[in-house]
Amino acid sequence: MKNILSATCMAACSGALALSLMASTASADEWPTKDIHLVVPYAPGGTTDVLSRRVADLLSQELGANVIVENRPGAGSTVGTGRVARGGRDIDHTLLMASPGHTIGAAIYPGLTYDPVEDFVFLQNMVDIPNVMVVPADSPYQNVVEFIEAAKEENMTFSHSGVGSSIHMSGELFKTLTDTNMTAVPFAGSGASLPALLGGDVDVSFENMPTVLSHIRSGDLRALAVTSAERSEYLPDVPTLSEIGEYNLDQFVTTAWFGLIAQSSFPEEAQSVMQDALAKVMQREEFLDFAKQLGAQPGTVAGDEFKQFITDDLQRWEAVAEQAGISQ
Amino acid sequence: MENFSEVIQLFFSLENFLAIAAGVVIGVVVGSIPGLTATMAVALALPFTFSMQPIAAILLLVGIYKGGMYGGSITAILIRTPGSPASACTLLDGYPMAQQGHAKKALKAALYSSVIADFISNIALIFFAAYLAKIALNFGAPEFFWLICFSLTIIISLASGSMIKGLMAALLGILLSLVGLDSVFGSQRLTFDNYNLMDSISFIPLLIGLFAIPEIMEFYRKKAIPHIKAKASGVGLTFAELKRCMKSIVRGSLIGVIIGAIPGTGATAAAFISYSDARRRSPNKANFGKGEVEGVAAAEAGNNGVAGATMIPLLSLGIPGDVITAIILGAFMVHGLTPGPIMFQENLSLIYALFMGIMLSSVILLVVGNVAIKYFSLIADIPKSILFPIVLMFCVYGSYAVNNDAFDIGLMVAFGVLGYIFNRAAIPAAPFLIGFILGPMFEDNLRRSLLIGSNDLSIFVRGPITWFFIALTVGSIALALYRFVEARRKAQQGDSTSKSA
């Protein structure tokens, strides 16, 4: 009897253990177990925000869980990013939409409380948006080489949408590589900087493609080059800067990238669930159409490749920020 | 017009009408909640528009924008808590009116002037878009610099009572506006290495703290404020009063239109400029700040005049002048439309259908606003001992909601204390706000001009627009000095006659 009892007891215990083990594997399979928070480190309404809401919508369809967009703007993107890096409750269900601000912010703001590479896991680069080197329609410069020759003689001004934006840093990178005389003129956002370029108050800008595409097509602005590695399908006749082949411009490849990352403690199971779901999202027609509207190419790197990409990006901006004497 | 039937077809759909109506209602409600701004509502509504028809999608967002612009004035008038930054100016006269038992009158004045300004702004958008867009492009940094200089001279007229106190408040406002990242070098200024201050001091917690908190503190300090026995909501606006305000409303609307057409200035500045202009010209100058209905009308006309006009650079140039129009631009692009000169050639019917919807939104705002006033004005009848704890909750919530950050609640409390000191020392808050809003614009455009002109000062006198604003600035200062000297001479004369008597 005693034996039977202990045997039953054993069986019950092992059963319970097995059950609990099963339960734990089941719940890991079932990630997400609650609502997912997608932190957007910018205010509502910008490209990052609009993209995030679109991705959140599609992602929640793939995962069958709510994906809630949370805007945590401030100090470039460093306030929202810092929050995710610090962790806390629900960190295993928290994502961050990272963009060039992630690396540029780390390059120009001293004393950040987080490491932009080591404190995160990198899930998927969602889209890449090239910048375009544009001059006003009545500008005398027909191509990049003419512009550089002139900029070696006299001082040129370039407008940008704020210190540390990809538009600003692209201008600084151009200045550094080509060793030309250029002065950065800051504006509060592209909406304010574009009239200065259209009105001819500044000589050149390295604007995000979607902002200037219609002005290039209407003939108000002239595109001299795009900053991506390949020519853009939207402006097939415009060369890339790296094609120029002179003035160290072969090293000039930058895009405004947008990708999902999470804090380093983000569970591995969740990473694989996320990567699968994101791969599906990126094949959806709605996503591809949306990317097209943004003038963007779907991102190509994920996981470790994405991490390497961020590491390289960070190193480059650190070098540019130091040369340009920004912030520090 | 051969496309007329197409326009009618595009416009007259149930979806469009529902979108406008829903937009205006959402806008008024969200705008009236402190901390929830029209910008947030527009951003949050954007994903819902992805699946809508393009015209309905845009009209929904435009409706929220217009409703929100008015909605902010409701709480500004009733509980001295501006629902959105642009309505900060409305409370200067709106709240005193509510205190005097004229809440309904103030709300109606705000509504009618909002609708009229909105209408004028729409007319400007429809008929003068191309022309105004051209002016906007000629408005570079030096022109902006002089516009701001002229606006700053307005502080002189707002410093009621003591000029010294007014200047003190203005300079403190400018000083606090310096907090944040330097716009040219990105270095930190007065942030004390605090990340929360890197994006400068958050405007909404500042507004809530400065205005709502001192009122609550004052109530508990005095403990027993006598209850107003009569219905505090009072009577509405009479036609004679509306007629009296008409000049200020029209001028305010035009100021709003011009400022709205220039990318990057914003409704808050327009409201203050319109208010100051009205005050300078009004025969009831002395009553401004104490509950003058014309002050409410001028402020609301200024900020609503901006709403239609910000669509001018968006539609004709494809340039968004503020965050809201940037989101609307996003909505256009999601539907495969690119605002700009090309859209006027390729999608003209769509633009006209859109214009009809925008006009209709003004009418709907009038209807929705009237219903809202009927219920909201009841708030003025709630005893303060019940109302103020609720207001305090909204203050905390509203300050937190802007950035989802508890730091902003601390900021609000700090500005509450500052506002209380202002009240006790009779220091006017309006010059402080103008300094805080215009200070950074002054600095940025000065530095921008110098950068563009490679430190050549001649850029500041480069064309007719700069000359025009220089003349206005000099004239404004000269007038103020003349009045100051004149007042002093009269006072001395008065002294000597009283002595001789």
Joined tokens for residue B369: 């606003």
DSSP percent split of chain A into helix, strand, coil, nearest 5: 50, 20, 30
Q: Which residues of A touch B147 (CB under 8 A)?
A: none
DSSP B300-328: HHHHHHHHHHTHHIIIII---SSHHHHHH
The pLDDT confidence band at residue A5, using thresholds 50, 70 and 90, is very low
Report CA B233 to chain centroid distance, whole Å: 24
Give domain status of residue A27, yes or no: no
Q: Name chain A contacts of B338, Cβ cutoff 8 Å.
A: 213-214
pLDDT digits (tens, 9 = 90+) for B62-95: 999 999 888 889 988 988 888 778 888 999 999 9
Give the rounded percent of residues in chain A with a pLDDT score beyond 90: 48
Which of B44, B50, B144, B185 best tests the A interface by mutation, with the highest count of A CBs <10 A?
A: B185
How close does chain A come to B439, measured CA to CA in Å? Answer: 14
* Separation of alpha carbons B214 and B217, rounded Å: 5
Of B46, B323, B448, the CB nearest to A43: B323
| Helices A285-293 and A47-63: angle between axes, nearest 10 degrees | 180
pLDDT for residue A149 is more than 70: yes
Residue A25 domain-assigned (yes or no): no
Least trusted range by pLDDT, from A239-248, B225-234, B259-268, B415-424: B225-234
Same domain? A143 vs A232: yes
Beta bridge partners of A134: A205, A223
Closest-CA distance of chain B to residue A44, Å:
6
Burial (Cβ within 10 Å: 0-12, 13-18, ≥19) of residue B501: exposed
- Is B263 part of a structural domain of the chain? yes
> Looking at the structure, do residues A161 and A245 belong to the same domain, yes or no?
yes
Q: If pLDDT is split at 50, 70 and 90, which confidence band does B2 have?
A: low
At which of A227, A251, A275 does a domain end?
A: A251
CATH number, domain at A243? 3.40.190.10
If one compares A43 and B66, the residue with the highest pLDDT of the two is B66
Rounded to an integer, what distance in angstroms lies between the CA atom of residue A190 and that of residue B330? 14
Q: Looking at the predicted structure, is the pLDDT value of residue A16 above 50?
A: no
Question: Going by C-beta distance under 8 Å and a sequence separation of 6 or more, which residues neighbour residue B144?
Answer: B262, B265, B441, B445
In this prediction, residue B496 has a pLDDT band, given cuts at 50, 70 and 90, of low
Percent of chain B with pLDDT over 90: 30
Kindly state the tokens that stand for B427: 């220091």
Select the residue of B40, B46, B263 nearest A53 (Cβ to Cβ): B46
Q: Residue A22 burial by CB count (10 A; 0-12/13-18/19+): exposed, middle or buried?
A: exposed
Interface of A with B in 160-189 (CB under 8 A): 162-164, 183-189
Let me know whether A108 and A78 are in one domain: yes
Q: What is the pLDDT of residues B441-468, one digit of tens each?
A: 899 999 999 999 988 999 999 989 999 9
| Helix extents (H) in chain A | 2-29, 47-63, 78-86, 100-108, 144-153, 166-178, 190-198, 209-217, 241-244, 268-283, 285-293, 303-324
The first and second tokens of residue B19, run together, are 């979108």
Tokens 């036609």 belong to which residue?
A: B239
In a domain, B332, yes or no: yes
Higher pLDDT: B404 or A48? It is A48
- pLDDT over 70 percentage in chain B: 94
Q: Which residues contact B131 (CB under 8 A, 6 or more apart)?
A: none
How far, in Å, CA of A190 to CA of A200, rounded? 15
Whether residue A10 lies inside any domain: the answer is no
**Residue B175 belongs to what domain range?**
4-491
By the CB < 8 Å criterion, does A301 face chain B?
A: no
| Residues from chain A contacting residue B187 (CB–CB below 8 Å) | 327
Phi, psi angles (nearest 5°) of residue A165: -75, 160
**Chains A, B: CB pairs < 8 Å:** 153
* Residue in chain B nearest A291 by alpha carbon: B334
A222-263: pLDDT as tens digits: 999 999 888 988 899 999 999 988 888 888 888 889 999 999
Contacts of B341 in chain A (CB under 8 A): 218, 220
pLDDT band at B226 (very low <50, low <70, confident <90, very high): low
Residue A225 structure tokens: 């080059």
Query: Same domain for A124 and A77?
Result: yes
Is ipTM strictly over 0.90? no
Nearest chain B Cα to A112, which residue? Answer: B195
Q: What is the mean pLDDT of chain B?
A: 85
Contact B340 A74 (CB under 8 A): no
Tell me, yes or no, whether A239 lies in a domain. Answer: yes
- The pLDDT value recorded for residue B157 is 66
pLDDT at A8 exceeding the cut of 50: no
Q: Are residues A238 and A170 in the same domain?
A: yes
From CA A154, how far away is CA B456, in angstroms rounded?
15
Instruction: Give A208's pLDDT tier (boundaries 50, 70, 90).
Output: confident
Which member of A46, A53, A326 has the closest CB to residue B47?
Answer: A53
Q: Is residue A65 a part of any domain in this protein?
A: yes
Residue of A12 and A75 predicted with greater confidence: A75
Cα separation of B289 and B347, whole Å?
A: 47
Residue A14 lies in a domain: no
Interface of B with A in 304-343 (CB under 8 A): 313, 317-327, 330, 333-334, 336, 338-342
Q: What is the pLDDT of residues A50-73, one digit of tens each?
A: 889 889 989 999 998 989 888 887
Hey, what are B144's tokens? Answer: 């902006």
d(CA B294, CA B287): 9
- What phi-psi label fits residue B193: left (phi over 0), alpha (psi between -120 and 50 degrees) or beta? left
A216 alpha carbon, distance to own chain's centre: 24
Estimate the crossing angle of helix B141-158 against helix B267-281, to 10 degrees. 50
User: In sequence order, what are the beta bridge partners of A255?
Assistant: A130
Which residues, listed in sequence order, are joined to residue A208 by a DSSP beta bridge? A131
The CA–CA distances, whole Å, from B11 to B17, B357, B361, B453 equal 9, 7, 13, 48
Query: A130-134, A161-165, A264-268, B91-95: which has the minimum mean pLDDT?
Result: A161-165
Structure tokens at B372: 């809202």
pLDDT at A19 over 80: no
Retrieve residue B243's tokens.
Answer: 């007629």
Assigned domain for A295 exists? yes
Residue B370 in any domain: the answer is yes
CA A2 to chain centre: 66
Tell me whether the omega of the peptide bond preceding residue A32 falls within 30 degrees of 0, making it cis.
Answer: yes
Note the maximum CA span of chain A. 102
Name the residue range of residue A234's domain: 130-251
Q: Are residues A216 and A232 in the same domain?
A: yes
- pLDDT of B50 > 80? The answer is no
Residue B121 lies inside a defined structural domain of this protein: yes
Residue B196: its chain A contacts at CB < 8 A?
74, 79
Subunit contact A186:B444, Cβ cutoff 8 A: yes
Sequence length of chain B is: 501
Torsion angle in degrees (nearest 10) through CA of B210, B216, B221, B225: 130
| Cα distances (Å, whole numbers) of residue A59 to A28, A124, B335 | 18, 13, 21
pLDDT at site B441: 86
For helices B203-222 and B91-99, the axis angle rounded to 10 degrees is: 20
**Predicted local confidence at residue B224, as pLDDT:** 58
- Residue B501 counted as domain residue: no
pLDDT of res. B315: 87
**Is A24 inside any structural domain?**
no
Contact B334, B124 (CB under 8 A): no
Put simply, whether A109 touches B (Cβ < 8 Å) is yes
Within the 201-260 window of chain B, which residues sit less than 8 Å (CB to CB) from chain A?
none
Structural contact between residues A214 and B340, judged by C-beta atoms closer than 8 angstroms: yes
User: What confidence score (pLDDT) does residue B220 get?
Assistant: 85
Q: Measure B337 CA to nearest chain A CA, in Å.
A: 9
Reported as a single tens digit per residue, the pLDDT across B139-185 is 889 998 998 888 887 666 666 667 788 889 989 999 999 998 888 88
Given A251, A268, A283, the domain boundary residue is: A251
Please state, rounded to an integer, the average pLDDT across all residues of chain A.
Answer: 85
Which of A209, A229, A251 terminates a domain? The answer is: A251
Counting the structural domains of chain B, the total is 1
Residue A28: its pLDDT value, please?
47
Q: Residue A10: pLDDT band by 50, 70, 90 thresholds?
A: very low
In this structure, what CATH number is given to the domain that contains residue A57?
3.40.190.150
Read off φ and ψ for residue A208, nearest 5 degrees: -65, 140
What distance in Å separates the CA atoms of residue B492 and residue B484, rounded to the nearest whole number?
Answer: 12
